[in-house]
Amino acid sequence: MIHLGHTSFESIFRNLHKYPLRTYIFNSVYSNIQMFVNETTRRIIGATGADGKVADLLSEKMNFTMDLQWPDDNFFGSRTLNGSYNGAIGRIVRYETDIIISGFFIKDYLTREMAFSAPVYMDEVCCYVKKASRIPQSILPLFAVNADIWISFISVGLLSPFIWMLMRHVNLGIIAKNSSILQMQMLQHQERHQLTKKHVLQYIRIYMDTWVIWVRVNIVYYPPFNSERIFIASLCLVSVIFGALFESSLATVYIRPFHYKDINTLKELDEANVRVYIKHAAMRDDLFYGHSSHIYQNLENKLLLVAELEERLINIMSRGARFAGVTRASSLELDDIHYFITQKIHKIPECPKNYNIAFVFPSNTPLEKSINILLLKFVQAGLIDHWIADMKYNAKVKTRNFPGYLVEIGDKWKVLTLSDLQLAFYTIICGSLLSTLVLLLEIVLECRFNVALWNSLRANDK
């Protein structure tokens, strides 16, 4: 029995004088009750996490005793086919609890029997998929830089020989028009180049020399014209820049794990044509439903509500299962962070929903004003953000306790071995085979030419 005395009506619900308040906390992103269960009496005696600390501080400031209730298997709860509610929402509707200190999305749950407190934090609902597979060592150098760098490198390499050929054609035309035989002889003596009437061999040599320069190899003979030498100097400078970019990128991809392109947008997720699994019916209500976007409509058709299996969905996905999951971004940063550190799971950066999150109590409860005032003070003081940051830091530290953590994440520095040079050996083998084919072709052509020459000589003798 509470004795008011001279206390005003407004202060009745500021100090509950150890009144037992039915408090419901279940395992969620920022709350955990598994470590605080009395096995003898089967009663909840406490909770950890940011939500648990909010509950402890509320009970201290409002001076009530938390009568913690045993959680059921439906977590947040949802509306069933017969119109009733289960889980935490069902307890609110049936007035079986006074307050739920586990974060709910502020949205329509199709009932007017529940009310939200002031928002305490925000969170996103995101999709996650299996991390793209690693690129094999045999072709890893090809992915060291982006495709636009390769396109630029090859395009410049293909265009430069024709520029050099054009310059040679102009220079030869000028010489043929203005120079005398003596000037031609001096030019031949100084530059050790012989200008012939047939320029086909020169153009072939220019094409080969251009690619030799472009891959950062020195050429033996330099062109006889200053304009062409200046062009070669500029080409060498550009090839040095490209070469430095390739070398630095190669060192990076060999030391750090390098993967194929991940799914980073909802459009790419739709194009992947995989099922999207969701564990809580409350998340499905407006995740993709009701949007005019064609992508959202397709993803809505791919949604499938599944119960939490004995083995978690994210664990099944990490072993190669091909589907997508939906959960809160904070859950991935806390409970499942080791999957991301070991690069087994990938969170799609484009998240479909962003929610304000609050606690829940029955509508028209007299505790609403007092609880909201305290919660807003906690938020303004930065206490809730501080407790959440502590949880994320502790989750990151605990990842080292997982078996095989160091094996999965690998060493910080990687020692290069022969297996990292697979592409180089493949290039040598392919080049040797190609040169052998060309050599055989040249031998065949030479034999045919000799046979034809011999036949012509015999015909002339006769």
Residue type, 241: I
Cβ–Cβ contacts within 10 Å for residue 250, how many? 15
**266, 315 contact by CB (below 8 A):** no
DSSP collapsed to 3 states, 221-261: CCCCCHHHHHHHHHHHHHHHHHHHHHHHHHHHHHHCCCECC
Q: Spell 121-138 as b/e; 16+ CB within 10 A means b.
A: bebebbbbbbbeeebebe
Residue 194 has what pLDDT? Answer: 47
Residue 449 has what pLDDT? Answer: 81
Residues with Cβ within 8 Å of 319's Cβ and at least 6 positions away in sequence, in order, are none
**Strand 64-68 with 276-278, pairing:** unpaired
Residues with Cβ within 8 Å of 326's Cβ and at least 6 positions away in sequence, in order, are 125, 126, 127, 128, 276, 277, 278, 279, 283, 287, 303
Q: In whole angstroms, give the CA distance from residue 188 to residue 355.
A: 81
Q: In whole angstroms, give the CA distance from residue 120 to residue 87.
A: 22
pTM value is: 0.69
Q: In this structure, which long-range contacts are made by residues 7-12, counting pairs with CB atoms below 8 Å and at least 24 apart in sequence?
A: 12/366
Residues with Cβ within 8 Å of 337's Cβ and at least 6 positions away in sequence, in order, are 395, 396, 399
DSSP H helices in 273-351: 281-284, 294-302, 313-318, 329-334, 337-341
- For the chain (462 residues), the mean pLDDT of every run of 10, in chain order, is 53 82 89 68 80 92 89 81 86 91 88 91 90 82 83 89 87 68 47 52 84 82 84 87 83 77 90 86 75 85 76 81 88 85 87 90 90 93 92 83 60 66 82 88 86 77 63
Structure letter (DSSP) for residue 141: G
Residue 152 has what pLDDT? Answer: 87
Q: In this structure, which long-range contacts are made by residues 191-200, counting pairs with CB atoms below 8 Å and at least 24 apart in sequence?
A: 191/224, 192/221, 193/221, 193/223, 193/224, 199/168, 199/169, 199/172
Q: Looking up tokens 């606690």, which residue turns up? A: 359
Structure letter (DSSP) for residue 116: E
**99, 23 contact by CB (below 8 A):** yes
Look at the chain and count its residues. Answer: 462
